[in-house]
Structure 1
Amino acid sequence: MNGELSVGIAGLGTVGAGVVRLLQENAAIIAARAGRPVRVVAVSARDRTRDRGVSLEGIRWVEDPLVLATDPAVDVVVELIGGASGAARDLVEAALAAGKPVVTANKALIAQAGGDLAGLIRGGPGIRFEAAVAGGIPVIKALREGLGANRIASVSGIFNGTCNYMLTRMRDEKMEFADVLAEAQALGYAEADPSADIDGVDTAHKLAILAAIAFGRQVDFGAVHVEGIRRISAVDIAFADELGYRIKLLGIARASEAGIETRVHPAMVPENSALAKVDGVNNAVVISGEPVGDIVIQGRGAGAGPTASAVVADLIDLARGRQTPMLGMAPDALRSEASVPMAAHRGAYCLRLMVLDQPGVIADVTAVLRDHGISLETMLQRGRSPGDVVPVVIITHETDEAAMAAALVQIAALPAVQEPPALIRIEQA
């Protein structure tokens, strides 16, 4: 414990280079907090010639990242390759099998293979993954340690900075989805293939991890209901504003007598709520527990600096010899909570229709809703344009998801409805 903690890093992209830089530039303060020096001794990446803007002098280059798992000079392996399979998973499994601790920022790996990885841990520190969720926001440590005495009722929040940036720009600049996506890609906020972000998969990975820790169960990514923001339009944003809401892509995990619900989807939240005020690339997490009540943590959820900060925080814990079970409790203490299907959800909804402006249309729509036991709170239609297509927005009282889904099928089949109905759930976040 008195010697330095020797680190091997696999993956020298934005985050990997950020970790090397942080350990070099803040070496003194990190050593003071860790109780000993923390130093990178070996790295592995695909392109040895690439300039990463950080000095690798004195650091050994390893061509095959798997070598780090059994290298006697490496105390801890930092996996920053990414992906739920392939080299990333092979390295993590090899390191754990060799009894070597792992630090990772790989949310896909933890969400999809967390149970398998937990089975490879044979005592000791195992695997740490603070950087896998919400970047520099220490939400995993908060749930697993700081709130360890609490019975958690729910965890919800904004977990994807790309989507939050896009929705913010759509509201502030009255931009359409395709235009703001192109802007986000040009600025480097969105990948060339943005599917994982805009289709909600990235948020779902993070939510599955948080739900496991919050409710003391195994990670269950397959139970998460996932919707993205592709169908959100400038019209939706404008109507939400008029009604006093903001549209956010939320991840929501909630405990009830029926079990655990985990869902990712766009939602309208009141404009005076904590999450409504989180804009740009920022993330935010709302945790509700007993006896702590509600707490909100927010900050930058991605990028070299915030993610490197979380990786190094895990390294400091390892250097200090702090040991916490992967999901906050011993594997045999984890519960088998039932997963609540999305069809069982109950809440209020915003329904946006594009319809021909002609007599009887609203009566037809409201008749379908009536037949499914759905009552209306508010309806908006701006102006008259006989024969043209116009938007109609309906806010419902609380109702069942299954009833709403059945009603949408019938509404979509009405002759006057010209586009598939757009449905946005309302959350009192």
Structure 2
Amino acid sequence: MSQLTIYHDQHPDNIEFHSEAHTQIAAQLAQVGVRFEQWQAAYEINQTTSHDDILEAYEQDIARLKAQDGYQTVDVISLPKGHPDAPVMRQKFLFEHTHSEDEVRFFVQGQGLFCLHIGERVYQVLCQQGDLISVPAMTPHWFDMGSDPQFTAIRLFNNEQGWVAQSTDNPIAERLTDIEGTITRISFVKEILFTYATDKLPDFVRQHAHTPEVTAQLDAVRAELNAPQASLDQVIQALLSWIAEDKKVTPLKQLQGMIWQHGYQNGDFTGHIYPDAHQFLSAEHAAGTALYVYSSGSVQAQQLLFAHSDYGDMRPLFSGYFDTRIGAKQQPEAYQAIASQLSFAAHEVLFLSDVVAELDAAKTAGMQTLQLWRDGQPRTQAHPFIEDFSQYNAQESR
């Protein structure tokens, strides 16, 4: 169902208007110069309908719009479900940007979320099948096709080059956050997850040693030990020693993630999330902020925690995940590598963590930093800090 939500750009959790009625959505958007319509196809459209036939099915509405607004070119774009480049394509328009001409899109199938930043308000428009939206040229906005996109859309324009996205250089266009001690309590990781993995690891490794994914990690352990002929028992002992020493070794993290998957799926535990962190992440996602996670836990472990959190499946809130495969968390090079994979320069990324050494590394790499000072963690004057996410807006105004 199509939706429009309006909120102040500094207070995304305070909704000023919400409607799922097309007439109300169209009326509200018309007040700020945005066209919102519903079109009906002349005949049935399905997954096998050609692009030419799609254009013919909506020929009358296309001709009307071209006559009214002078558009010269029309095309059809499709993104099938499971497309391997979908994450990259999604990222291209998640940042606030403008176009030098109108962005006109009609959803033949699927959906997409437009967030229009007009004055001090954000107009968040969920467009569904049958909806047309026309965003005027130079309107700051961002577009989210979703974590598992699948859509077909008609576009109208005068100059295809006019659709090139020009960043508004919003200084906090993305958020990069740590997990342990920042959005989930340290004791959950240490007392629940680590204890569970330690107890289960020996039997798990022995039972699955010949499966390809486990074999690959065991070989990586042997490489870390510089002992290619190490026995299975020696590998297990090394893994248990690394757990006891709290070492952030990638093959250990990968194996822990596999073990935790069984625990989550069996209902042995759920992923702890601070209430203020859940509210913050939900509000930032609703505001169109691209959220990323960088944690010493494997990407698999991160996704498991969010998939089975106290608040249900939180994975749709995040645009991507990073772990120690990209580099050690206390090394600036890791943050430089992350920035190179995002659509923004390092100084446009805000990194949040409770660990001073990680914040130092991110700052050295050029990122903005903010410390979550929870549970008596060490604090430094080198970074701004908040005690929980409820203080975030106050922190930004300092």
TM-score using structure 1 length: 0.24
> TM-score, length-normalised on structure 2?
0.25
